Structure 1
Amino acid sequence: MQTTQGADHDAAQQIDILPAAAADTQRAAATLARAFSVDPHVVGLLPPGDVIGSLTVLWERIVRETLQAGGHAYLAERRGEERPLGVALWEAPGSKVSIPRMLPGLLAYARVFRDRLPDALATEFLAHRQHPATPHWYLKAVGTLPDLQRTGVGSMLLNERLAHIDREHTGAYLEASTLDLVSFYSRFGFISRGPVPSRGTVPAIGMWRPSVA
């Protein structure tokens, strides 16, 4: 799925970046649903209705699949608050959630997309085809609560994992949903690879971050 995040400013004080476990799935999904409720690529695939409710079901499934496959999730949390301010979801090299691995969740996806399910599946398939062939980390999603975008929370989430990736000398890949996000991610070393084909929604933009020598 696509990533969404605002520009980089001074991060709020007393925010911790913590690894998420399976028990955090619902909390992570609730934050990602709010974050992606304004994302044109994802919302463009939804039928009319309860956007937040549909996205919550969607992200619960995606977070669960990612963790089960060996991926990583990180929460940005302010001390004393239950709801995460932001979430980053990464697939590690070798832990990709392929289309066949998504099939057990088909009923959940059908509940979310309803008559738009063929468009959603086709868009996911086209996105998978654009992924680099070389082993890499895939930033599946990063998002913050809408009222906290452009406060630096997303940058904190990105920097936490990118530091590990650099020590591994591994590349990273993501899809940005707007031109503003292309500019944002370019500041972290990501380079545009051009539009990613989609069906029934606005195309995302693939971005590659080469490994650090």
Structure 2
Amino acid sequence: MDLQENEHQPTSPVDTFSHGSLIDHTFGPNGSVFINVLLEAFEERTGFEAENRYNITFENGYKVVGLEESDFMNRWCCGSLRPFVLNFAFKENKIQFLRLVRPFSFFIDEIFVFNEQDDLLGKVKSNLTLFTRELTIYGLSNNKLYKLEGSMLQKKFMIKNYTTREKVGEIRRGTAAPQYEDVEIVYPRSASPSEKALILGSAIFIDYLYYEQKVNMI
């Protein structure tokens, strides 16, 4: 996937459509997305969790920033287990179009995904397993859409159709530079814009679940 900057590429869909939702026009034309996970130097040196920031580039050139909102004490006491709200907005005009909410819970680890009108699109739930890493993506009617499977050793998750168990996409993680981690999502070809938004949410959720420093809760 070539994500080099092009001055002729759009950086947001806001000024290019007259009907439909931002979710439709952002995710619809894109078959893949690239995420830079910014690693704060202070966080690397001290182990203390800062609010996360994600720079996101869609296949067609749209530029998005994801910013976490969380409480200082939750980050201090809960670390990667903390509740948070994460807002996504276009870099160019700061218009918000997607929101992730992770409520605090001792037993059920899940996030909820909302569109720009604060309508629920679905949720992503972490599954309790011993030897693999698994998540389930649920639609608006609580129907199971996709299963994400990854091993303990590899930084790769297969996206599988929940019913057929056929592999239909992938989430890959690598190292872009000392201060960054990179994530690439290859979407299922048949995924709707809302489903693609849920998969993006699951990639962010995976970052919190498996790649942040764990702490003992106070």
TM-score class, shorter-chain normalisation, is: under 0.3
Using the size of structure 2 for normalisation, the TM-score is 0.25
| Structure with greater helix percent | 1
Return the TM-score normalized by structure 1. 0.26
Q: Going by fraction, where is strand more abundant, 1 or 2?
A: 2
**Larger RCO (alpha carbons 8 Å, 6+ apart):** 1
